[in-house]
């Protein structure tokens, strides 16, 4: 994501590796944003599902809006070459949102994190849901925000999706909220209900969490009925070993 492209510093690239018939993975193609420019950081967030690759450029400028961020969609042509098909932007995006900081995709649903976007005038972060229609075009269908009322809650740098569930971490947990402990962290589960809308369904916290653990601030993963949340600063027997909660 810091690679130069034809002299444009930190424009960024994404490398596609493909498994050959002998089972070995080999570099196949280099992806860049078709309208990319210096400092875009293309490739910081990436996701792949089936025949779709999405790449985030969270420092990309959008017209006169600096650092708004963008997501590029690639699919393969009949020869197997990856071609840029679409550029996704938030419908209400603004300067400094950082859309594309992290991405997740599962089938016809993708979610992109705008890490610094405003939520009720506070910079708590927003996650945008995009869905692919029968015409193969991706459109924004939802904007996800955290329900916690404190200004110092914000979405972490990671999210994940599986089927009808999206998992998003919260990297700050302090302030006038019941049960809040500074730096312990939380993870939020959003579920798509029968009406097609996504709603916050559950808040997850570590049963033995402590101040500064950072639960939800590192890796997140979800697959069907099982999810894993990282807590990189958690201690075990006094040592900062980190932990993962299932």
The residue with greater pLDDT, 192 or 182, is 192
- The phi, psi pair for 70, rounded to 5°, reads -155, 160
Does 192 score more than 90 pLDDT?
A: yes
User: How many angstroms separate the CA atoms of 45 and 61, rounded?
Assistant: 16
- Mean pLDDT to the nearest integer, 63-69: 92
Q: Percent of the chain, pLDDT > 70? A: 92
Higher per-residue confidence, 4 vs 120:
4
Nearest C-alpha neighbor of 127 from the set 173, 183, 169, 180: 169
Q: Are the beta carbons of 185 and 146 closer than 8 angstroms?
A: no
Residue 149, judged by CB atoms within 10 A of its CB (0-12, 13-18, 19+), counts as: exposed
Residue 138: per-residue pLDDT? 98
Q: Does the pLDDT of residue 210 top 80, yes or no?
A: no
Query: What percentage of the chain reaches a pLDDT higher than 90?
Result: 59
- State whether the Cα torsion 136-193-118-244 is positive or negative: negative
How many other C-beta atoms lie within 10 A of the C-beta of residue 27?
Answer: 9
Q: So what's the pLDDT on residue 194?
A: 94
User: Is 88 in contact with 109 (CB distance < 8 Å)?
Assistant: no
> Does residue 148 carry a pLDDT above 70?
no
This prediction's pTM: 0.91
More confident residue, 46 or 180: 46
* Average pLDDT of every residue of the chain: 88
- Judge whether 129 and 99 are in contact, CB under 8 Å: no
Q: Which comes out higher in pLDDT, residue 102 or 171? A: 102
* Predicted local confidence at residue 87, as pLDDT: 97
């Amino acid at each position: 994501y810091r690679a130069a492209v034809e002299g444009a510093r930190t424009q960024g690239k994404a490398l596609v590796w493909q498994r050959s018939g002998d089972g070995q993975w080999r570099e196949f193609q280099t992806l860049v944003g078709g309208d990319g420019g210096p400092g875009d950081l293309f490739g910081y967030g990436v996701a792949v599902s089936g025949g779709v690759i999405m790449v985030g450029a969270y420092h990309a400028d959008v017209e006169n809006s600096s650092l708004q961020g963008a997501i590029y969609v690639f699919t393969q042509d009949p020869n197997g070459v990856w071609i840029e098909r679409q550029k996704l932007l938030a419908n209400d995006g603004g300067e400094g949102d950082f859309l594309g900081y992290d991405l997740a995709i599962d089938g016809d649903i993708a979610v992109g994190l705008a890490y610094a976007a405003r939520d009720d005038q506070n910079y708590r972060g927003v996650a945008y849901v995009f869905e692919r229609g029968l015409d193969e075009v991706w459109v924004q269908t939802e904007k996800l925000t955290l329900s916690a009322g404190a200004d110092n809650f914000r979405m972490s740098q990671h999210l994940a999706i599986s089927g009808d569930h999206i998992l998003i971490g919260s990297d700050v947990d302090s302030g006038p909220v019941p049960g809040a402990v500074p730096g312990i962290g939380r993870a939020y589960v959003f579920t798509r209900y029968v009406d097609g809308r996504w709603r916050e369904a559950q808040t997850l916290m570590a049963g033995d969490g402590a101040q500064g653990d950072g639960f939800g601030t590192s890796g997140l993963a979800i697959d069907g009925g099982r999810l894993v949340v990282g807590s990189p600063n958690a201690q075990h027997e006094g040592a900062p070993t980190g932990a993962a909660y299932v």
